[in-house]
């Protein structure tokens, strides 16, 4: 079956392309971009006024399966992804058990295939059980399909272990996804340390906990030549470290989450636990810096850190609540509204942050609309108003602080491997 | 929900000093004055809150505050039920909501809550729609009734809070008493001097109020009030200070250091005291000390708060 997306604006940063054109998909692959006469046997969708982009990649997702299927499963996470406009997601290994061996990697990939909605790329653990002591069998997991390694959520405290991991990762040319947090400095803090935490009487978490590890791992990357990708970077000083490291040619990249460029610690109202996440929401100056990093290119990608939790995990006092916010179904509207409609970044730059950049970091043969590649396409209706409604999420979870926000930029159509896997209800044309 | 009558508080709940307007604070202090006398009568009971139910829900151990609330309720003829729940023995927060919902179903008029988590009383407001919530201390956040009874006590010795110099000394970081007092005293126009080792002063405390100093002499210099905080000995393992001996040397209150303050300075402490750790034992009992007056006034102030939250809108007068 052939699929023709007619009259859209095709944006593909990998090909330096931005023009009014039709996009033809044949046998699951991108066939042609240009002025294309529709044939009777084709499925034709009129996407006038919409952006037609390579399939968006969320390089930071927690799917919770195996182990915490009450929070999310690979199936519900896949549904959430395609509803949010993502065609590929990269899932973190902090499941139960941890994805630290070939068998778990295969299990995740198998379940993802059964779900059959979205490309799921697992990330393996750096260390066995993510205990931070012995390296996991990274080579075996690599053969089974991991695209990176990380101990996200259980950051490697021992610098020597981190150094070895960076060295070892070079065999497979995979990046080490780095959750930067010096745990003794975090000291069980539950929000950013500063005037607001002091006022709320909540234990503060020093920004230095992140920055110490950012600096450490940039140094270790320089020494080893291993590639470091800083996950959910959140402070302006962390960004400065990355900026300097990049100028020096060190193999470091970084991502920011939508919540870290949308809200600050000042938005935490009435101890609402939906505002609790790791790293915590920072100061307004940090939010500004994240936006600046997105504008000037220091930040390579937007990753949501989609972290589903149950009601019970969140309906407790702030300090006892689980950390995390779900993000896949709000990422595009938030980014479109704040960054593109806010005239901070171009449409093309936004597409780059979600497509070619994460694919380059992870060496995925995706993120472009070049002829012959898998037909993963994200169509965004830039003028469609979106009111965030947690009760309508496809994710199992509801932990999202953006309920009720009115935004623009709807994931109108999601195509994976040439197949339409999501079509927005409002997108009736 | 706001009450509109002139002799009542602007809010149905008392969650903290921060969101309590000065007019409410003054009304509570004024009302407490008329209640204090009741406690010195041979029959220490008035029928003001007869038929009202008050639940004292304490998730943290407390002797002074809990008994103070209980006595205050009983002297106003309210029915007080005391529940001590060990937060650690239950599933923490889930149990907080479930406990609150269950208690709410029994139609209490006020739930007095103490909890180790900041914001726990605020949570109850969302789950208990009909009764008033009174914060008796939440984590490191606020302890409004303590600040009110402290203000009351100061005003028994000084003409006005405005213009006073008040030193608050000790473990500021972990102290809800320091927060509530700093907010109240700053609102009332006092100069607050915050003092302790830098390891125990959280960043941005100046935004709450007061001037921060690490030198005790500077804090106490010409002070009208010296408020010592309890040193939490169990925190020593967290490298906040090297030893109790050194702590007392640097930040403990002794006769020698008292000379820096005004001669008529009063010494306060929210209790319980660690004698010899933050305060010289003789000083705690000395003529400048108003520590037991604070406890005594606590009953009157809490009677006033219970009355204003409940009784003031009915045909009852003390």
CATH of domain B22-142+298-313: 3.40.50.1370
Domain B144-295 CATH assignment equals 3.40.50.1370: yes
DSSP A224-258: H---EEE-S---HHHHHHHHHHHHTT--EEEEE-H
Q: Looking at per-residue confidence, does B128 or A266 come out higher? A: A266
What local confidence, expressed as pLDDT, does residue B236 receive? 57
Confidence band of A308 (pLDDT split at 50, 70, 90):
very high
| Burial class for A187, CB neighbours closer than 10 Å (0-12, 13-18, 19+) | middle
Q: For residue A382, what are the CA distances in angstroms to A51, A305, A340, B214, B270?
A: 7, 24, 9, 55, 59
In DSSP terms, A149 is beta-bridged to: A124, A176
CA distance B93 to chain A (A): 4
Predicted TM-score (pTM) of the model is: 0.93
**Among residues 67-126 of chain A, which lie with CB inside 8 Å of chain B?**
none
pLDDT digits (tens, 9 = 90+) for B52-70: 999 999 998 888 999 999 9
Tokens at B141, concatenated: 């956040």
Contact assessment for residue A187 and residue A208, using Cβ atoms and an 8 Å cutoff: no
Same fold, B22-142+298-313 and B144-295: yes
Which residues neighbour A215 within 8 Å (Cβ) at sequence distance 6 or greater? A241
Q: Is A387 helix (H, G, I), strand (E, B) or coil?
A: strand
DSSP A134-202: SB--HHHHHHHT---EE-TTS----HHHHHHHHHHHTTTT--EEE----HHHHTT--EE-SHHHHHHTP
- Amino acid B3: pLDDT: 46
Closest chain B C-alpha to A313 CA, distance in angstroms: 9
A4-14 average pLDDT score? 97
- What are the chain A neighbours of B93 within 8 Å (beta carbons)? 315-317, 320-321
Mean pLDDT, chain A, integer: 97
User: Is A355 in contact with A380 (CB distance < 8 Å)?
Assistant: no
* Residue of A201, A309, A312 for testing the chain B interface, max B β-carbons within 10 Å: A201
The encoded tokens of residue A108 equal 């995740």
A305 is catalytic: yes
Which residues in chain A touch residue B208, judged by CB atoms under 8 angstroms apart? 198-199
pLDDT value, residue B129: 83
Most confident of A126-130, A187-191, A311-315: A126-130
Q: What is the pLDDT of residues A211-264, one digit of tens each?
A: 999 999 999 999 999 999 999 999 999 999 999 999 999 999 999 999 999 999
Cross-chain Cβ contact B96/A316 below 8 Å? yes
Task: Name the DSSP class of B264.
Answer: T
Q: Which residues of A touch B142 (CB under 8 A)?
A: 201
- For the record, the structure tokens of A188 come out as 């069980």
Per-residue pLDDT, averaged over A356-360, amounts to 98
| Domain residue extents for chain B | 22-142+298-313, 144-295
Q: What is the ipTM of this complex?
A: 0.89
Interface size A-B, in CB pairs within 8 Å, comes to 77
CA A95/CA A71 separation, integer angstroms:
11
Residue B182's closest chain A neighbor by CA?
Answer: A199
Instruction: Kindly determine whether residue A319 and residue B204, on different chains, have CB atoms separated by under 8 Å.
Output: no
Q: Nearest-CA residue of chain A relative to B201?
A: A198
In tens, the pLDDT along B124-144 reads 998 888 899 999 999 999 999
CATH (residue range A55-362): 3.20.20.140
Provide, as residue numbers in chain A, all residues whose Cβ is less than 8 Å from the Cβ of B238.
187
Question: How much is the average pLDDT of A262-274?
Answer: 96
Predicted pLDDT of residue B63: 87
Regarding beta strands A56-61 and A51-54, do their DSSP bridges make them parallel or antiparallel, or are they unpaired?
Answer: unpaired
- DSSP state letter for B275: B
Low-confidence stretches of chain B (pLDDT beneath 70) = 1-6, 87-94, 234-237, 311-318
Which has the minimum average pLDDT: A51-60, A181-190, B239-248, B252-261? B239-248
Q: Do A201 and B96 touch (CB under 8 A)?
A: no
Contact A270 B18 (CB under 8 A): no
- pLDDT-derived band at A422 (thresholds 50, 70, 90) equals very high
């Amino acid at each position: 079956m052939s699929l023709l997306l007619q009259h859209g604006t095709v944006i593909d940063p990998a090909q330096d392309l931005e023009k009014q054109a039709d996009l033809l998909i044949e046998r699951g692959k991108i066939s042609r971009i240009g002025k294309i006469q529709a044939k009777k046997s084709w499925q034709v969708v009129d996407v006038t006024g919409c952006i037609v982009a390579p399939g968006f990649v969320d390089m930071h997702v927690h799917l919770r399966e195996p182990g915490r299927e009450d929070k999310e499963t690979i199936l519900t996470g896949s549904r959430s992804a395609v509803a949010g406009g993502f065609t590929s997601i990269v899932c973190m290994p902090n499941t139960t058990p941890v994805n630290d061996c070939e068998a778990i990697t295969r299990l995740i990939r198998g379940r993802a295939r059964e779900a059959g909605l979205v490309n799921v790329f697992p990330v393996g653990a750096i260390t066995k059980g993510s205990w931070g002591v012995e390296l996991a069998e990274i080579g075996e997991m690599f053969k089974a399909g991991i695209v990176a390694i990380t101990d996200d959520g259980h950051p490697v405290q021992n610098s020597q272990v981190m150094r070895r991991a960076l060295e070892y990762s070079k065999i497979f040319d995979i990046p080490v996804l780095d959750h930067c947090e010096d745990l003794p400095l975090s000291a069980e803090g539950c929000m950013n340390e500063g005037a607001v935490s002091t006022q709320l009487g909540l234990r503060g978490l020093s920004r230095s906990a992140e920055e110490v590890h950012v600096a450490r791992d940039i140094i270790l990357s320089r020494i080893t030549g291993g590639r470091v990708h800083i996950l959910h970077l959140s402070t302006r000083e962390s960004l400065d470290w990355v900026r300097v490291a990049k100028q020096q040619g060190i193999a470091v990249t970084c991502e920011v989450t939508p919540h870290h460029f949308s809200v600050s610690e000042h938005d935490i109202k009435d101890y609402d636990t939906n505002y609790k996440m790791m790293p915590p929401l920072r100061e307004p100056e940090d939010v500004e810096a994240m936006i600046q990093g997105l504008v000037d290119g220091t930040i390579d990608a937007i990753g949501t850190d989609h972290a589903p939790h149950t009601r019970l995990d969140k309906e407790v006092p702030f300090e006892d609540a689980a950390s995390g916010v779900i993000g896949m179904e709000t990422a595009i509207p938030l980014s479109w509204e704040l960054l593109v409609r806010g005239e901070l970044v171009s449409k093309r730059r936004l597409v780059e942050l979600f497509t070619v950049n994460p694919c380059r970091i992870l060496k995925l043969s995706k993120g472009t609309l070049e002829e012959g590649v898998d037909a993963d396409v994200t169509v965004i209706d830039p003028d469609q108003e979106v009111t965030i409604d947690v009760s309508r999420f496809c994710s199992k979870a509801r932990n999202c602080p953006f309920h009720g926000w009115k935004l623009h930029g709807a994931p109108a159509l999601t195509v994976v491997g040439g197949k339409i896997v999501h079509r927005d209800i409002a997108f009736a044309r | 929900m706001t009450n509109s009558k002139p002799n009542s508080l602007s809010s149905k709940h008392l969650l903290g000093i921060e969101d309590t307007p000065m007019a409410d604070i003054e009304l509570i202090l004024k009302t407490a004055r008329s209640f204090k006398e009741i406690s010195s009568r041979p029959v220490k009971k008035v029928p003001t809150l007869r038929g009202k139910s008050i639940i004292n829900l304490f998730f943290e151990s407390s002797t002074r505050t809990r008994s103070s609330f209980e006595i205050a309720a009983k002297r106003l003829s309210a029915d007080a039920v005391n529940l001590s729940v060990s937060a650690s023995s239950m599933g923490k927060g889930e149990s907080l909501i479930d406990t609150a919902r269950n208690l709410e179903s029994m139609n209490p008029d006020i739930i007095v809550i103490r909890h180790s988590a900041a914001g726990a009383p605020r949570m109850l407001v969302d789950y208990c729609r009909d009764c008033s919530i009174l914060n008796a201390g939440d984590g490191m956040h606020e302890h409004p009734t303590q600040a009110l009874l402290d203000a009351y006590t100061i005003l028994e010795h000084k003409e006005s809070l405005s213009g006073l110099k008040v030193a608050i000394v000790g473990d500021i970081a972990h102290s809800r008493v320091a927060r509530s007092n700093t907010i109240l005293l700053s609102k009332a126009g006092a100069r607050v001097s915050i003092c302790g080792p830098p390891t125990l002063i959280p960043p941005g405390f100046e935004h709450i109020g007061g001037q921060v100093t690490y030198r005790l002499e500077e804090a106490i210099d010409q002070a009208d009030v010296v408020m010592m905080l309890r040193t939490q000995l169990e925190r020593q393992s967290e490298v906040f200070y090297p030893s109790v001996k050194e702590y007392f040397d640097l930040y403990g209150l002794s006769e020698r250091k008292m000379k820096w303050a005004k001669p008529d300075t009063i010494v306060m402490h929210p209790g319980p005291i660690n004698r010899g750790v933050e305060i010289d034992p003789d000083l705690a009992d000395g003529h400048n000390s108003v520590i037991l007056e604070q406890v005594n006034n606590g009953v009157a102030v809490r009677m006033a708060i219970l009355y204003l939250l409940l009784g003031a809108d009915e045909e009852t007068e003390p």
